């Protein structure tokens, strides 16, 4: 066969299938990373959420716990402070002086102007405030005092001591036999004070008055 008779076959372009198969090995999308959780939340985000929850819980505990603890401590300190004040007053004893005008108004103790030998002291705690007063006066002065408190001589019961053991221990007052004692308790509605009054009437012209005025906050 001559060259002229030889059939020339034209070159065929590469098939699309071969190009696709060759390109799929290098240009395809990368495989998804296996580092996430099953729900798709990255580990870093989950740690951040847990940390935020712990911080929130800590703040809540502090907001509730600190005030509650402060109240408990304050109550304990108040009780101790009240006991310390009473012990201090008892150790110091009655003060040889007049209570101030404000103290007399607060505890409603109208000590008569002619009173002598006036002694007093005040105690305060979380339960009550008390004013202890002792003085000698005249028969007319006793009447003025009782009237100013809101009671009268008729309310005094012969032979009665109205000041209790607790107050006796604090003041050191003695209410023994051989004395003409008379007493009364003048009660007021809270927050006004209640006065426990005991009078030594052995000398009617010069009675000695013992009074405890207690006020409950």
Contact 194, 188 (CB under 8 A): yes
Q: What number of residues does the chain have?
A: 217
Mean pLDDT of the chain, nearest integer: 81
Instruction: Look at 149 and 23; give whichever has higher pLDDT.
Output: 149
| Res. 217 pLDDT band, cuts 50 70 90 | confident
CA nearest neighbour of 115 among 133, 91, 95, 92: 133
Query: What phi, psi does 95 have (nearest 5°)?
Result: -90, 130
Cα–Cα distance measured from residue 169 to residue 130, given in angstroms and rounded to the nearest whole number:
14
pLDDT tens for 103-155 read 999 999 999 999 999 999 999 888 889 999 999 999 999 999 999 999 999 99
Q: What is the pLDDT of residue 176?
A: 94
Cα–Cα distance measured from residue 172 to residue 199, given in angstroms and rounded to the nearest whole number:
16
| Res. 48 pLDDT band, cuts 50 70 90 | confident
- Tell me the average pLDDT across 26-42: 52
Please state the pTM of the whole predicted model: 0.60
Q: What is the pLDDT of residue 94?
A: 86
Cα–Cα distance measured from residue 208 to residue 182, given in angstroms and rounded to the nearest whole number:
11
| Res. 25 pLDDT band, cuts 50 70 90 | very low
For residue 15, is pLDDT > 80? no
Instruction: Look at 41 and 161; give whichever has higher pLDDT.
Output: 161
Q: What is the pLDDT of residue 57?
A: 85
For residue 92, is pLDDT > 90? no
**SS3 of residue 157 by DSSP:** strand
Instruction: Look at 68 and 55; give whichever has higher pLDDT.
Output: 55
Range of lowest pLDDT (46-50, 133-137, 144-148, 167-171): 46-50
- Tell me the average pLDDT across 180-200: 96
Express as a percent the part of the chain with pLDDT over 90. 52
Cα–Cα distance measured from residue 191 to residue 83, given in angstroms and rounded to the nearest whole number:
22
């Amino acid at each position: 066969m001559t060259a002229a008779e030889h059939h020339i076959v034209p070159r065929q372009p590469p098939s699309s299938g071969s190009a696709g198969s060759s390109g799929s090995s290098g240009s395809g999308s990368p495989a998804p990373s296996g580092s996430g959780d099953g729900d798709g939340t990255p580990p870093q985000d989950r740690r951040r959420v847990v940390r935020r929850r712990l911080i929130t819980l800590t703040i809540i505990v502090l907001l509730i716990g600190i005030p509650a603890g402060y109240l408990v401590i304050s109550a304990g300190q108040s009780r101790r402070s009240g006991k310390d004040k009473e012990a201090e007053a008892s150790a110091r004893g009655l003060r040889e002086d007049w209570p101030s005008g404000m103290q007399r108004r607060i505890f409603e103790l109208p000590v008569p102007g002619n009173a002598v030998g006036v002694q007093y002291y005040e105690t305060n705690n979380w339960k009550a405030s008390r004013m202890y007063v002792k003085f000698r006066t005249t028969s007319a002065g006793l009447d003025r005092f009782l009237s100013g408190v809101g009671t009268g001589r008729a309310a005094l019961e012969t032979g009665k001591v109205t000041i209790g053991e607790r107050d006796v221990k604090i003041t050191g007052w003695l209410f023994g036999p051989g004395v003409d004692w008379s007493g009364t308790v003048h009660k007021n509605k809270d927050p006004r004070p209640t006065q426990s009054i005991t009078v030594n009437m052995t000398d009617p012209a010069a009675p000695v008055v013992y009074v405890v005025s207690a006020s409950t906050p």
